[in-house]
Amino acid sequence: MNLFQLFKTSNPIIGVVHLLPLPTSPRWGGSLKAVIDRAEQEATALAAGGVDGIIVENFFDAPFAKDQVDPAVVSAMSLVVQRLMQLVALPIGINVLRNDAHSAMAIATCTQSHFIRVNVLTGVMATDQGVIEGQAHQLLRYRRELGSEVKIFADVLVKHARPLGTPNLTTAVQETIERGLADGVILSGWATGSPPSLEDLELATRAAKGTPVLIGSGADWENIYSLMPAADGVIVSSSLKRQGQIEQPIDPIRVSRFVEATRRSVTLKLEQQEITLKSQGLGARN
């Protein structure tokens, strides 16, 4: 998959819009207008701050359904996403938590969104929702039935979960790509706001063999300098919120600061690669 074709950059920064509780969730407030208004504010702040894409999640619906969400959630998310697509000129993705990839694919296809995030595409994970099994075979066939071109970004050994057994990270990445047919893979830390280790990112990138590897959690304007050189892109949320608090709305100033730091880290990465190539006698010649 070519990230540049989707995001107009080879190293995309994808901001997250965490939707307020939706209908049927325990904390649903009764007003879809409030949900839409907050989502529009956050999407506008992300776009103004310079991100390259946005992913929309039903984050505040916790505790989450293990598999299929209520149809009201699908309806509400479809309405929100359609509004956001009219508001910002950025690629938009969908993540229906905890692992309703079919609903995410349906929403994305019907709203002409660009990608989805799937927490468990392959393998078996023990989570706080119970045991979740990947259903790549069903999802890929469903995408084909819909005639959809929506891309699938899949977590590998997803946060807030533990694998049943002790799979090797390299094997997990390879199977997600080669057997699950993911278009890109996502590597996170152990929980929301926790970054992956540099060692794991480098290992995943080697195993991916050119398939994009995205940082899925824990990135901020301080650690992005060390993490970004080992990845192709980043999905970011917590560090962009006011005071870094997950329940707070997006802070445009924090978005701009993160984007600036990430762009600088990419530039440094490219400069280092050029220096390496020149030292090997492979650099561009005048």
H or E element, residue 57: strand 53-57
How far apart are the C-alpha atoms of 8 and 108, rounded to whole Å? 19
- Tell me what percent of the residues of the chain surpass a pLDDT of 90: 80
The answer to whether residue 230 scores a pLDDT higher than 80 is yes
The answer to whether residue 286 scores a pLDDT higher than 50 is no
How far apart are the C-alpha atoms of 29 and 189, rounded to whole Å? 31
How far apart are the C-alpha atoms of 237 and 218, rounded to whole Å? 8
Residue 30, sorted as left (phi over 0), alpha (psi -120 to 50) or beta, turns out to be left
Average pLDDT across the chain, whole number: 92
- Which residues fall within 8 angstroms of residue 276, CB to CB, at 6 or more apart? none
Domains of the chain: 3-279 (3.20.20.70)
User: What confidence score (pLDDT) does residue 285 get?
Assistant: 45
Tens of pLDDT, residue by residue over 52-94, are: 999 999 999 999 998 899 999 999 999 999 999 999 999 999 9
Lowest mean pLDDT of 111-120, 140-149, 155-164, 166-175, name the range: 155-164
pTM for this predicted structure: 0.92
Tens of pLDDT, residue by residue over 33-61, are: 999 999 999 999 999 999 999 999 999 99
Q: Which comes out higher in pLDDT, residue 137 or 168?
A: 137
**What is the average per-residue pLDDT within 4-9?**
96
* Token code pair at residue 55: 């992913």
- Tell me what percent of the residues of the chain surpass a pLDDT of 70: 97
Total Cβ atoms within 10 A of residue 10: 14
